[in-house]
Amino acid sequence: MNFKAIFAVYSKELVDSLRDKRTLVSVVVIPTLITPALIFSIGRITMKVVERAKADVPAIQILGGEDSPKIVAALKASPKFNVIPPVDDWKERISDKKLRAAVLIPPGFEQALAQGKAKDVVIYHYTGELKSGFATDELTNFFSTLRQDTLKRRLSDRNLPPDLVEPFETKRENVAPPEKVGGNSFGGFVPYLIVILCFTGAMYPAMDLTAGEKERGTMETLLCSPVGRTEIVLGKFLMVLTGSLSAMALAMASLSLTLTVGGALLAGRAHGIPAGAAPSVIPSISPMGIIGTFAMVLPFSVLISAGLLTISLFARSFKEAQSYIAPLIFVIILPAVIGILPGVELNARFALVPILNLTLVCKEMLSGVWHWQYIALIFGSSCVYAGIALSLAVRMFNRESVIFRT
């Protein structure tokens, strides 16, 4: 194997790729600018929608309550509710988002409350609808306050201390370090994003260096050069791997900067404090976990790059290569999503499943948990899978029926 020839092919493909605007867009521009900007924009829009929903005074209807005038008057006087006149189709109105919630006050509620025999209050709402949920929360708080005030008044009338019904409080205190908390809450998203970026970063270079060259008619010229086919395919593979790792690294760096600066800005606006005084929204993650994650990503990137290169070799044109590779995104996403699901824990069986093992082990490492036996098993199996994929790419490139497929 001539490493000098491999490097020469790699250098040639790198220069050509840097001159290709489409490659630069897919490997550099989209991961560095578009992806973080999209995430930031979604976060900003979501925050605005939630703020507007909270600021909106929900329309509610009171069912019953004719014999509970004080409670009805308090609901109508509250600036948090817009009590509308009774309508018969209130259920349909809630489902159509014209009415946010309805509260049923049972007959004789006010009098029964004074006697300690009150029945339950029922709140009707639209489960999963944002504004209906806010209205339900406000109604729940209203009646919770009423319950507490009633309880305090009863204790005061009997000259009893308030702590008679609440002799103690239960407090929660976190004992896990910030790295574990941040890794546990944010660690599942990072490997998922890395998997997607590695795939998308390798996708375009793989198609362009194989099917693209066939379509342009430059593949034959390259094969006539005094370089062996193994050196050619390895040089092309290194270019695809460079695209995969570059897209991932650039996107993660840009995303971190976006979340640090833009996240603090959003947090400051949300809480009404200066942007410079707002804390970063990025959870604390173990630095060693980040290093370990990037180390585990390397064999995965080799596997993805070699696999995409092999598949693209079979295509006669760039468009045909796209039709082969595009559906693979679902094959990539599925195990990555499974790894994010709660309750899915790393074990010896999952350690042998590609992509799923990477997601699970990276989530653990970012939390500061190091299962060395599983890490060794995952890294070793990933290297084996990567080696098989790379050898298959070399083998396919040496087959005339694949290179000159018509």
Rg (CA), the chain: 31
Q: Please state, in angstroms and rounded to a whole number, the distance separating the CA atoms of residues 57 and 139.
A: 12
pLDDT band at 174 (very low <50, low <70, confident <90, very high): confident
pLDDT surpasses 90 at 124: yes
Percent of the chain with pLDDT over 90: 7
Under 8 Å CB-to-CB from 291, ≥6 apart: which residues? none
* Mean pLDDT confidence for 62-66: 87
**Confidence at residue 270, expressed as pLDDT on a 0 to 100 scale:** 46
306-344 pLDDT per residue, tens: 989 888 888 888 888 888 888 888 888 888 888 777 777
Task: Report the distance separating Cα 125 and Cα 94, nearest Å.
Answer: 7
- With vertex at residue 301, the alpha carbon angle to CA 299 and CA 303, rounded to the nearest 5 degrees, is 70
Least confident of 19-33, 206-220, 277-291, 362-376: 277-291
Domain boundaries along the sequence of the chain: 3-39+178-403, 57-164
Task: Please name the residue that has the structure tokens 């029964």.
Answer: 112
Between residues 138 and 9, which one has the greater pLDDT? 138
CA distance 11 to 298: 21
- Greatest CA span in the chain, whole angstroms? 102
CB-based contacts of 345, cutoff 8 Å, min separation 6: 360
Q: pLDDT tens digits for 346-360? A: 888 888 888 888 888
| Residue 8: how many other CB atoms lie within 10 Å | 16
Of the two residues 267 and 161, the one the predictor is more confident about is 161
Q: What percent of the chain has pLDDT over 70?
A: 88
pLDDT for res 141: 92
Residue 142 has pLDDT above 80, yes or no: yes
Per the prediction, the chain carries an average pLDDT of 81
Q: In this structure, which CATH number among 3.30.460.10, 3.30.200.20, 3.40.50.300, 3.40.1710.10 belongs to the domain 57-164?
A: 3.40.1710.10
User: Which H or E run includes 63?
Assistant: strand 59-64
Tell me: the pLDDT tens digits for 283-316?
566 677 778 888 888 888 999 999 898 888 888 8
Instruction: Measure Cα distances from 226 to 306, 398, 404 in Å.
Output: 23, 15, 19
Predicted confidence (pLDDT) at residue 181 exceeds the cutoff of 70: no
